[in-house]
Structure 1
Amino acid sequence: MLGEYVHHIDFEENSDFVIIYGPNGVGKTKFLEIIHALSRVNAATLSLLPFGTATLSFSDGHSITAITDTHDEEGDSEFDAFVENGQKRKIRFELHFEDSEKDSWLYSGDNFEAQLIENTTYRPLSSSPEIWEDRVDQELVSLTELERRFPDFRDREDVPEWIERFRENSFSYLIETQRLRIEQYIGASRRVAANIRPGVRRKQHDTKISEHSSTMKALVNRAQTEHSRITQQLDRTFPNKVLAAPTSETVHADDIRIRFDEQNGFRSRLGRVASVALEDELSLPTRDLDEWELRLLSLYLDDADKKLAPFVKLLRKIELLEDIVNSRLLNKRLQVTAGEGLTVRHETTGRAIDLNSLSSGEQHEIILIFDLLFNVPEGALVLIDEPEISLHVVWQLAFIPDVQRVAELAGFRFIVATHSPQIINDAWSHAVRLGPEKASFA
């Protein structure tokens, strides 16, 4: 990093997270950005980051390495000439396999910003080049968002097939320190622009937290649609399954009663979230059930499990989102419903509170936990930079345990970069120090 440091971290066996810490200037943020860009083979971004060689090694024995044109085979670096005046460097990528096979690709640069200017109506703001404005409708978006919208403008050179395969099977998700600040900056810029351009009709753009509320509604509605499709299919075939069921199969009454209790409990929890036509809870008689009744009920329960399957993991994620966020909010409660998505109400009066009127810390928490639960693909590596921003000390102490709960349910590993001893708390066995040992990091 910057010609001064060599950083190295490992995930211990059966460990789902690593914390990196150290004094300012050792490159914690850049380290995360390099990991993220290399895992996605984002050559254009890597060409602007301060490193000589970066390698990601995987448990199946393969690894991918990026080598800049300021770093030769012997390891000498010339960082004094690093990216002057926005000049990008060449990057050589090498994919190594356990049997010593190697694929390589040399990236010689692209012109993403020039492609945007040539092919779209977006232009950078002079006051903040990271923010771009659509000259037609005055939409303001970050450059990162434009990279998501126009991926074809990156890496215009011929990309080898092995790079595409690697990208398809490698997932990382970077949560940057400045994400919420950029959203707030964009919101403020929109208000200013609206005041100084009274004659311009502006397109309305949701804030990030409003977008997440809309996404939540879409997720619940999608599960409802799938539930309806499965229900129609199973109801048509149920009579045939009853007639074809083997009469010699043994079904235990205790198992049936346990399954009924579990299903009824799930229906009660789901009914608060999803507006689906769920069957009324069935109360089983206290008498002994005949064998034919047990077999029929077993078939019914099997079908009911399949009908409810689209909601199972979704409901667990919704309940975890509510649990974590509501442990943070003071005199307010977050609730998810199919009709409104995310809603926040005052605990005493029940009055609805506009999501955009929540404090920056409250919005940050909802956005962060929502992203981790619903936007991170299973198996991904999540990179979280300085989560202590906008968090008071109590929230910082709970941060790692809460993200662990999310990671276990959503199925990802994570790396956290922090300045805060409260974030690390009692997880020092997972912490890796970067930079000089004697320098203070807090």
Structure 2
Amino acid sequence: MRIKQISVSGLFGIFDHVIPLNMDERTTIIHCPNGFGKTAILRILNSFFNSRYADLRAIPFRIFRVEFDDNTNVEIIKNAENAEGLETNSIVLNFYKHDLKPLSFTLMRVNSRSDREVFMSVSSDDIMPEREQLYPPRFMNIPIEKIRHLEDYLQGFYSVSSSNFKSQEEPDWLKKLKSNIPIRLIESQRLLNFIPNRSSKRSAETPSMLSTVSAYSDELAKLMQDKFKEYGTISQSLDRTFPIRVVKQQSSADLTDEQLRDQLNELEATRSRLIEVGLLDKDEDSEFQIQPQDIDESTKNALSVYVEDVEKKLSVFAEIASKIDLLRKIINNKFAYSYKEINFSKEKGFVVTTSYDSPLSNSKTLLPTDLSSGEQHELVLLYELLFKVQPNSLVLIDEPELSLHVGWQVQFLKDLQDITQLADLNILMATHSPDIIQDRWDLTVELKGPQK
């Protein structure tokens, strides 16, 4: 199930936009002058599919519609009228499936004592007594403008709410719809991560900020370590049973000596690639050549079992190795201009080195935070696309051109297409840059204002 078109009416009380998505090439680019609402559209889409209802409330619009490739659609109506024709402070979600009666769900607004607004999911038939008890005090002290940017606080709020009000959870049809369309928003502010301070027992925590590039470096190191542990577990299991399987192995007349040597060479090439991307340590004894006279019927049986075992062991790294290899290729193509190179290790994650001799430092190794803002933007964006988005997601990218040199912008779309093919992604991005678009205006949708 994929989104084929989105539309909005009354955005900021001014704009009506229709955005058909490119279903074939899976990349759609929206562009327009400042203030026409391209970022707001991305945020509305992300807010709905990830249940960020406080965010949804903060953006002024009248109707937002999402159409799917199975000819169903969902409609979000803000400040809908009730049966008496009076405007309410609610948001109504309507799901239209072919000729069936539409399914409906209402988000009712709840006000705190300080008039800060939060949203609680309730069905249109639910009664909400004692509204002041809907959320714990520690969330009342967080202004809504800050809540909007703190994912952990929002998740905490919704988890507490749903645990206390089971009858008011989203209906099954809405949960299923959202689960079918994974959405991830990569915002223009992507160099800092907000981390809640969990050590303090104060009711309202002050979040700390961490460099995103450092956080992702640590995260990648953990992913690589986990894969290496998995590799070790499989290796132990196979090595333990190797002798008995060699003894029981039936002679294979179909496997020629040349085919066996080719398989061994392929394994060594794979092993070398894994060493190059930092997933395996270099083992000088791992490389060996099999001479024709060394292969007899007994060694052929043992080597065929060996080949099968090593293929199983190394297959653990297949997906992550392809992603690291592509990330390394794209980044180093750009870093070469500033005399830098990136590699990867299980211990450190990103390993950045420079070939430039600086009179200020004898060190050739740089911290990820030593990279320029443009280099960090590029590394963070590509890492998110490759490692933090599940397959078949719709990824929303806001202003990918930020801090990027024109030469990098020109190359961006080609790099993006390589990534989307490997990671199986759909892309909707908003940009001001014609250098990002290049000659691919066929992928673009221009947002226009009302005629004056």
User: 2:5 maps to which residue?
Assistant: none
The answer to whether the aligner puts 1:396 opposite 2:404 as a matched pair is no
State the Cα deviation string for residues 235-271 of structure 1 (Å, max 9, x = none): 2233343344343562244433332222211211222
Whole-angstrom CA distance in 2 between matches of 1:214 and 1:116: 34
Do the aligned partners of 2:213 and 2:376 also contact (CA within 8 Å) in 1? yes
Whole-angstrom CA distance in 1 between matches of 2:445 and 2:230: 45
Aligned counterparts, 1:263-302, within 5 A: 263-272=267-276, 273-275=278-280, 280-287=286-293, 289-302=295-308
The answer to whether the aligner puts 1:31 opposite 2:41 as a matched pair is yes
The answer to whether the aligner puts 1:51 opposite 2:64 as a matched pair is no
Whole-angstrom CA distance in 2 between matches of 1:52 and 1:121: 28
Do the aligned partners of 1:40 and 1:167 also contact (CA within 8 Å) in 2? yes
**CA displacement at 1:116 relative to structure 2:** 7.9
**CA displacement at 1:400 relative to structure 2:** 1.1
Q: Name the aligned partner's letter for residue 51 of structure 1.
A: F
User: 2:388 maps to which residue?
Assistant: 375
**CA displacement at 1:109 relative to structure 2:** 2.8
The answer to whether the aligner puts 1:245 opposite 2:249 as a matched pair is yes
Where 2:325 maps in the other structure, the secondary structure is helix
Q: Could you say if the C-alpha distance between residues 2 and 233 of structure 1 is closer, same or farther in structure 2, counting changes exceeding 3 Å? A: same
RMSD value, Cα: 3.4
In structure 1, the gaps of 5 or more residues are: 82-87, 133-140, 188-201
Whole-angstrom CA distance in 2 between matches of 1:395 and 1:438: 36
Whole-angstrom CA distance in 2 between matches of 1:116 and 1:343: 44
User: 1:177 maps to which residue?
Assistant: 188
User: 1:405 maps to which residue?
Assistant: 418
230-239 or 385-394: bigger deviation = 230-239
Whole-angstrom CA distance in 2 between matches of 1:48 and 1:206: 26
Do the aligned partners of 1:65 and 1:95 also contact (CA within 8 Å) in 2? yes
State the Cα deviation string for residues 401-440 of structure 1 (Å, max 9, x = none): 111111111111111111111110121111111115999x
Where 1:6 maps in the other structure, the secondary structure is strand
Q: Name the aligned partner's letter for residue 343 of structure 1.
A: V
User: 2:310 maps to which residue?
Assistant: 304
Whole-angstrom CA distance in 1 between matches of 2:69 and 2:296: 53
The answer to whether the aligner puts 1:228 opposite 2:232 as a matched pair is yes
Where 1:395 maps in the other structure, the secondary structure is helix
Where 1:263 maps in the other structure, the secondary structure is helix
Query: Among the aligned pairs, what percent are the same residue?
Result: 30
28-37 or 230-239: bigger deviation = 230-239
The answer to whether the aligner puts 1:331 opposite 2:313 as a matched pair is no
Whole-angstrom CA distance in 1 between matches of 2:271 and 2:76: 51
The answer to whether the aligner puts 1:118 opposite 2:123 as a matched pair is no
User: 1:152 maps to which residue?
Assistant: 159
Q: Could you say if the C-alpha distance between residues 7 and 243 of structure 1 is closer, same or farther in structure 2, counting changes exceeding 3 Å? A: farther
**CA displacement at 1:315 relative to structure 2:** 1.3
User: 2:200 maps to which residue?
Assistant: none
TM-score (norm 2): 0.78
Q: Which has the higher contact order (CA 8 A, sep 6+)?
A: 1
Whole-angstrom CA distance in 2 between matches of 1:23 and 1:378: 32
Q: Could you say if the C-alpha distance between residues 238 and 277 of structure 1 is closer, same or farther in structure 2, counting changes exceeding 3 Å? A: farther
User: 2:150 maps to which residue?
Assistant: 143
**CA displacement at 1:120 relative to structure 2:** 5.7
**CA displacement at 1:336 relative to structure 2:** 0.8
**CA displacement at 1:36 relative to structure 2:** 1.6
Structure 2 residue corresponding to 1:346, chosen from 347, 354, 362: 354
Do the aligned partners of 1:53 and 1:71 also contact (CA within 8 Å) in 2? no
TM-score (norm 1): 0.79
Q: Name the aligned partner's letter for residue 279 of structure 2.
A: A
The answer to whether the aligner puts 1:428 opposite 2:436 as a matched pair is no
Whole-angstrom CA distance in 2 between matches of 1:39 and 1:148: 14
In structure 2, the gaps of 5 or more residues are: 1-10, 111-116, 120-131, 196-205, 358-362
**CA displacement at 1:356 relative to structure 2:** 1.8
Q: Could you say if the C-alpha distance between residues 289 and 275 of structure 1 is closer, same or farther in structure 2, counting changes exceeding 3 Å? A: closer
Whole-angstrom CA distance in 1 between matches of 2:449 and 2:171: 40
Q: Name the aligned partner's letter for residue 147 of structure 1.
A: L
State the Cα deviation string for residues 185-213 of structure 1 (Å, max 9, x = none): x89xxxxxxxxxxxxxx998642111111
Do the aligned partners of 2:352 and 2:367 also contact (CA within 8 Å) in 1? yes
Where 2:386 maps in the other structure, the secondary structure is helix
The answer to whether the aligner puts 1:314 opposite 2:333 as a matched pair is no
Greater strand fraction, Structure 1 or Structure 2: 2
Q: Name the aligned partner's letter for residue 306 of structure 1.
A: K
Whole-angstrom CA distance in 2 between matches of 1:299 and 1:96: 56
Q: Could you say if the C-alpha distance between residues 261 and 438 of structure 1 is closer, same or farther in structure 2, counting changes exceeding 3 Å? A: farther
State the Cα deviation string for residues 14-37 of structure 1 (Å, max 9, x = none): 312011111222211111112222
Q: Could you say if the C-alpha distance between residues 398 and 220 of structure 1 is closer, same or farther in structure 2, counting changes exceeding 3 Å? A: same
Q: Name the aligned partner's letter for residue 162 of structure 1.
A: W
The answer to whether the aligner puts 1:107 opposite 2:122 as a matched pair is no
Do the aligned partners of 1:116 and 1:122 also contact (CA within 8 Å) in 2? no
Q: Could you say if the C-alpha distance between residues 95 and 302 of structure 1 is closer, same or farther in structure 2, counting changes exceeding 3 Å? A: farther
**CA displacement at 1:66 relative to structure 2:** 1.6
User: 1:198 maps to which residue?
Assistant: none
State the Cα deviation string for residues 296-324 of structure 1 (Å, max 9, x = none): 32322221111112211111111211222
User: 2:73 maps to which residue?
Assistant: 63
Whole-angstrom CA distance in 2 between matches of 1:245 and 1:15: 48
Do the aligned partners of 1:40 and 1:170 also contact (CA within 8 Å) in 2? no
Structure 1 residue corresponding to 2:427, chosen from 414, 417, 423: 414
Q: Could you say if the C-alpha distance between residues 99 and 292 of structure 1 is closer, same or farther in structure 2, counting changes exceeding 3 Å? A: farther
User: 2:129 maps to which residue?
Assistant: none
Q: Name the aligned partner's letter for residue 118 of structure 1.
A: P
**CA displacement at 1:377 relative to structure 2:** 1.1
The answer to whether the aligner puts 1:12 opposite 2:22 as a matched pair is yes
Do the aligned partners of 2:52 and 2:154 also contact (CA within 8 Å) in 1? no
